[in-house]
Structure 1
Amino acid sequence: MDLNLRKAIKSNINGNSANDLEATIVDAIQSGEEKMLPGLGVLFEIYWENATEQDKQEVLDALEKAVQ
Structure 2
Amino acid sequence: MTTLDLRQAIINRVQENSKEQLTDVIQDSVGNDERTLPGLGVLFEMIWKQSNTSEQTQMVDTLYQHLHQDGTSNPSPS
TM-score by structure 1 length? 0.87
Report the alpha carbon displacement of residue 22 of structure 1 after superposing the two structures with TM. Answer: 1.2
Using the alignment, how far apart are the partners of 1:66 and 1:48 within structure 2?
Answer: 18
Q: How does 1:1-68 map to 2 (within 5 A)?
A: 2-30=3-31, 32-68=32-68
Using the alignment, how far apart are the partners of 1:47 and 1:17 within structure 2?
Answer: 16
Of the two, which has the highest radius of gyration?
2
Cα RMSD after superposing both structures: 1.5
Higher relative contact order (CA 8 A, sep 6+): 2
- Give the match's secondary structure for 1:6: helix
Give 5+ residue unaligned stretches, structure 2. Answer: 69-78
Q: Percent identity?
A: 36
Using the alignment, how far apart are the partners of 1:17 and 1:55 within structure 2?
Answer: 24
Please identify which structure carries the higher helix content. 1
Runs of 4+ in 1 over 2 A off after TM superposition: 15-18
- Give the match's secondary structure for 1:42: helix
Most deviating of 18-27 and 44-53:
18-27
User: Size of the alignment, in residue pairs?
Assistant: 67
